[in-house]
Amino acid sequence: MPRSKKTKPAKKRKSWKISSSNIFKDLGFTDEEATNFFVRGQLAIEITNLIIGRGWSQRKAAQELGVSQPRIAEIMSMKLDLYTIDTLLKYLDKLGQKVSFKVEPKEVA
């Protein structure tokens, strides 16, 4: 008796959702929380890029900012809940950066 071919399970159809362009909003945070996390994320990315771009170790960056090395590791690991926008702005200032904001109406979905 010939072997029967195993049938493959039916593939589940994937549904796609258009991103809001803010991952935190997409994850279910409130608008206010999502905006705050998004801004902190952008600032942390800038700090990380400056550190890497200057070829600094985390220890060197910590010395320049007057903080401990673990604090730099937290920023570079995007542990955003540990830092306020004010603190990240202060670090960017110490790194010789000027930060400006653009305010515009929200897109309504």
Radius of gyration of the CA atoms of the chain, in A: 22
* pLDDT, tens digit, 9 for 90 and up, residues 48-92: 999 999 999 999 999 999 999 999 999 999 998 899 999 999 999
* pLDDT, tens digit, 9 for 90 and up, residues 2-38: 566 666 666 777 776 676 677 777 777 788 888 899 8
Q: What global pTM score does this model have?
A: 0.75
As its CATH architecture, domain 28-94 has Orthogonal Bundle (1.10)
- Both tokens of 34, joined, read 């999502």
Q: How many CA atoms lie within 13 A of 68 on its CB side?
A: 3
Q: Is residue 109 pLDDT above 70, yes or no?
A: no
Q: Where are the domains of the chain?
A: 28-94
